Amino acid sequence: MEFRSFLIKYAEIGVKGKNRGIFEDALVRQIRNALKRCEGEFFVRRTRGRVYVEVLSETYDYEETVEGLKTVFGIAQICPMIELKDEGFDQLCEAVISYMGEAYPDKNLTFKVNTRRARKDYPMESMAVNSEIGGVLLDAYPEMKVDVHHPDVMLNIEIREKIYVYSIEISGPGGMPVGTNGKGMLLLSGGIDSPVAGWMIAKRGVKIDAVYFHAPPYTSDRAKQKVVDLARKVAKYSGPIWLHVINFTDIQLYIYEKCPHEELTIIMRRYMMRIAEQIAADTECLGLITGESIGQVASQTMQSLAATNEVCHMPVYRPLIGMDKQEIINIAERIDTYETSILPYEDCCTIFVAKHPVTKPNLNVIRKHEHNLDEKIGELVQTALDTKELIVVEA
């Protein structure tokens, strides 16, 4: 049995009223992008609230295509369909019998036939097709039963220029198509959390750019490569990511020299947020995104988050805020970032950490100690921005 087309079902974006066209166009665009990575040639089209993918090339890779479609936010279900020329009702019956025969080796099931007739000149009405096909299937497979209320298998028959038959629904990732909800700047480290945070916000239709702070020679090129690799994995879902790499070494050393070491992480995080916000503003991002989660480490207590947040003017989106580590890991595994995240290369947060970092920073004290940096910090931040490297990361 060969599936040559797919019906793409979407949930949320169906209810957007006047904006529906914009959402559907974005969905079609993202499906086309995802399919570029798959072997074969495809035609993606939308008609009256439905999106179809048709295979044009002689051959294609079914598994790879389904995997590709599973990376497109906005897709609720992927339904592989068989496609028939209209060569009379007897042919249709035969095709449906062999479809059910192949698709369901275990015939101990209940089913319902659901026909939609888009072409009104088809000689039979939908109800008649339902009952005829139902009868034919019961004759062919006596173990099967009809259940019109809660069938195990909903056998859909769509009569258009061609006839489409489908019953399999593969779950898509849900969410909304990327490009329908502005752009955000992800603070992407090499850890487990931030790639998941980026993925979660992209799932809401937000385009993602990213900033990574590295500290050579304290952090290695391999640590940076790891971040690029993580960005590539997220880009499979989010589309291309512009990754801004900031050399943070001199800023970090200066903070280390001038401020109490227990406050280093907090002050460093405040500078990361300030710099990220500046790049975000220059690149039309509407918010920052981090992988923070309350209480996970000293720099993520409520007090620490308040101190980090204080320097930001843009909204900071922290999609993992209420999640446990295991819940975050479960997503990281699902989106295939986990194995990369746990590679051992250190990121710059872990190099200069104090033995006993403050867990309840006092904002007035932090502000006061930041004044120790007044002499050179402005210049150092400017140099860091001027020397940033841009890497365009594609899946």
Binding residues: 187-188, 212-213, 269, 291, 300
Cβ proximity to ligand ATP, 51 vs 246, nearer residue? 246
Q: Provide the minimum distance between the beta carbon of 201 and ligand ATP in the complex, in angstroms, as a whole number.
A: 11
Find the binder of Mg ion among 191, 195, 205, 287 (CB under 5 A): 191
Residue nearest ligand ATP by beta-carbon distance: 191
Considering only residues 59 to 78 of the shown chain, the ones binding ligand ATP according to CB under 6 A are: none
Axis crossing angle, helix 249-258 with helix 377-386, rounded to the nearest 10: 170
Label residue 241 exposed, middle or buried (CB < 10 Å: 0-12, 13-18, 19+). Answer: buried
Find the binder of ligand ATP among 126, 181, 296, 359 (CB under 6 A): 296
Find the binder of Mg ion among 189, 299, 340, 341 (CB under 5 A): 189
Segment interacting with ligand ATP (CB under 6 A) among 41-49, 129-137, 288-296, 331-339: 288-296
Segment interacting with ligand ATP (CB under 6 A) among 75-83, 122-130, 182-190, 374-382: 182-190
Considering only residues 259 to 278 of the shown chain, the ones binding ligand ATP according to CB under 6 A are: 272
* Using rule CB under 6 A, residue 193 touches ligand ATP: yes
* Using rule CB under 6 A, residue 199 touches ligand ATP: no
* Using rule CB under 5 A, residue 198 touches Mg ion: no
* Using rule CB under 6 A, residue 231 touches ligand ATP: no
Hey, how many other C-beta atoms are within 10 angstroms of the C-beta on 88?
Answer: 10
Token code pair at residue 255: 């903070």
Total residues contacting ligand ATP by CB under 6 A comes to: 21
Q: Provide the minimum distance between the beta carbon of 350 and ligand ATP in the complex, in angstroms, as a whole number.
A: 7
Find the binder of ligand ATP among 6, 292, 331, 395 (CB under 6 A): 292
Cβ proximity to ligand ATP, 82 vs 211, nearer residue? 211
Label residue 121 exposed, middle or buried (CB < 10 Å: 0-12, 13-18, 19+). Answer: exposed
* Using rule CB under 6 A, residue 291 touches ligand ATP: yes
Cα distance between residue 236 and residue 228, in whole Å = 13
Cβ proximity to Mg ion, 130 vs 189, nearer residue? 189
Token code pair at residue 265: 């992480």
Total residues contacting Mg ion by CB under 5 A comes to: 2
Binding site for ligand ATP (CB under 6 A): 187-189, 191-194, 211-213, 272, 290-292, 296-297, 299-300, 347-349
Binding site for Mg ion (CB under 5 A): 189, 191
